[in-house]
């Protein structure tokens, strides 16, 4: 039997329109882990305007000749907001890297930041501060309460640069008109 049956690891969560928590309104989250022990994911469509990649490198005393100004710092979620995570393509795998699935991996060490700064990091990446976390059964309850939809992940939803469009793109993957979504859960 598949141990991951019923879990959404490696998929996207899409906040329903009536999401009450403003931190997650119109959020698209890539689920890095989801099991009986809980869940962890990164918001992929919100930036932190107060921190740039060069700022982060300076704070961590990482020297580089010309840090990539194009690397944006995302709001990964409200848990451990000072901790950095890099969601990336699996062409970069080190000892501390968690390979999730379908060519996507997660590294949360300073080494990946050095690699990004030096230009020899992963081909595609998303740098985030903080993460979204759920206790055992909490995410499942939120999904059953009609708080989240899940959709298959794809590279554009994860790594695409048009953050404002990701929420609607994710909803459209389901073939649903988001204006028709209801916040009321029904039972058959």
CATH number at residue 145: 3.40.1740.10
pLDDT for 1 equals 33
Residue 42 clears pLDDT 90, i.e. is over it: yes
DSSP 160: -
Residue 65 has pLDDT above 80, yes or no: no
Whether the pLDDT of residue 130 is over 70: the answer is yes
User: Is 125:91 a contact under the CB 8 Å cutoff?
Assistant: no
Report if residue 17 sits inside a domain: yes
Q: How much is the pLDDT for 66?
A: 66
In a domain? residue 154: yes
Assign 186 a pLDDT band (cuts: 50, 70, 90): very low
pLDDT tens digits for 152-179? 999 999 999 999 999 999 999 988 766 6
Is residue 5 a part of any domain in this protein? Answer: no
Beta strand 73-75 with 125-134: parallel, antiparallel or unpaired?
Answer: parallel
Classify residue 117: in a domain, yes or no. yes
Give pLDDT tens digits for 72-105: 999 999 999 989 999 999 999 999 999 998 899 9
Q: What is the pLDDT of residue 178?
A: 62
Residue 187 lies in a domain: no
Q: Is residue 155 part of a domain?
A: yes
Residue 78 CB contacts under 8 Å (≥ 6 apart), including other chains: 23, 130, 132
Mean pLDDT of 121-150: 94
Domain ranges, residue 63 = 11-180
What pLDDT score was predicted for residue 83?
93
Question: Does the residue 123 lie in any domain?
Answer: yes
Rounded CA-CA distance 78/148 in Å is 17
Domain count, the chain: 1
Q: Model pTM?
A: 0.89
Q: What percent of the chain has pLDDT over 90?
A: 69
Average pLDDT, the chain: 88
Region 36-57: mean pLDDT is: 93
């Amino acid at each position: 039997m598949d141990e991951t049956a019923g879990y959404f690891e490696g998929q996207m969560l899409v906040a329903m329109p009536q999401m009450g928590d403003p931190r997650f309104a119109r959020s698209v989250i890539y689920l890095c882990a989801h099991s009986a022990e809980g869940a962890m994911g990164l918001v992929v469509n919100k930036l932190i305007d107060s921190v740039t990649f060069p700022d982060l490198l300076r704070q961590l005393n990482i020297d580089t000749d010309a840090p990539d100004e194009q690397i944006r710092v995302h709001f990964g979620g409200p848990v451990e907001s000072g901790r950095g995570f890099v969601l990336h393509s699996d062409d970069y795998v080190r000892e501390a890297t968690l390979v999730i699935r379908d060519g996507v991996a997660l590294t949360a060490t300073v080494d990946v930041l050095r690699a990004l700064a030096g230009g020899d990091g992963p081909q595609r990446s998303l740098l985030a501060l903080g993460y979204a976390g759920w206790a055992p059964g909490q995410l499942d309850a939120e999904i059953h309460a009609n708080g989240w939809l899940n959709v298959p992940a794809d590279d554009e939803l994860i790594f695409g640069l048009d953050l404002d469009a990701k929420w609607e793109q994710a909803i459209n993957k389901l073939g649903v008109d988001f204006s028709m979504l209801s916040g009321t859960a029904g039972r058959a």
